Amino acid sequence: MGAADGVAGRIGPNAIIRVLETLRESFGQDVTAGLFVQARLGHYLDQLPEKMVNETEVWRLHQVLREQLGQPTCADITWKAGLKTADYLLANRIPKAAQVVFKALPAAASARLLLKTIGGHSWTFAGSGQFSYEVGQTVVLTIRNNPLCRDVRTDVPVCDFYSATFERLFQVLVHPNTQVEETECEAKGDDVCRFELRWK
């Protein structure tokens, strides 16, 4: 049991559901079930979460994926799950009228408006971490005390789930050429997880 098990923050259920979907598509039902059981999340195989989940459940799932599949495969799975999460938000959580406004504004203004919206709901994805952002020539997002990086030590950034979600939302709502790079990560020993968003 790691230190993360003592943390009480909560994260939206997409962080579990979309990883489950991606694993089933990539590896099939049996492998997926085995990974979820190892992460002590077997109960979600029959009944998907409908409400916010304890952030330690998501942390355990990512840990098992890294341990059993390796970091590159874990990154691929969680990236795809992040894209699915953004698509779900676009289809079900961000009103169509608001999407029309985002798309009509100049990119910088749209980015500020979108980030104000994201910031107001950051507790749904950052859990007990702290989300902040700056809009300049480069859009910079940060998560401090990222719950998914607790007790994690790697040589590469590991927040592919967040990067993919941010990238897809910005590509659809702000600028189609948006690319996200995680330039700092607490799993690497940095002070924050830092995401830089650029478009040409």
Tell me, what's the pLDDT at 8? 62
pLDDT value for 109? 97
pTM for the predicted model, two decimal places: 0.95
Is residue 4 a part of any domain in this protein?
no
- Residue 71 CA, chain-centre distance (Å), reads 16
pLDDT score recorded for residue 3: 40
The model's pLDDT over 101-142, given as tens digits with 9 standing for 90+, comes to 999 999 999 999 999 999 999 999 999 999 999 999 899 999
What proportion of the chain, given as a percentage, has pLDDT over 70?
96
- In the chain, where do the E strands start and end? 10-11, 53-54, 130-135, 139-144, 179-184, 193-198
Q: Is residue 159 part of a domain?
A: yes
Pairing mode of beta strands 179-184, 193-198 = antiparallel
Domain span holding position 121: 9-198
Sign for the pseudo-dihedral over CA of 39, 165, 92, 124 = positive
Query: Which residue is it, tokens 């789930």?
Result: 161
- Residue 73 resides in a domain: yes
Task: Report yes or no on 1 lying in a domain.
Answer: no
DSSP 115-155: HHHHHHTTHHHHTTSEEEEEESSSEEEEEES-GGGTT---S
The answer to the question of residue 17 being in a domain is yes
Residues of the chain with pLDDT under 50: 1-7
Which CATH number belongs to the domain containing residue 95 in this structure?
3.90.1520.10
Residue at 2 is within a domain: no
| Domain-embedded: residue 69 | yes
Tell me, what's the pLDDT at 200? 86
Number of domains in the chain: 1
Q: Is residue 93 situated within a structural domain?
A: yes
CA distance 100 to 169: 13
The one-letter amino acid code at 120 reads: G
The C-alpha torsion from 9 through 193 and 67 to 54, rounded to 10°, is: 10
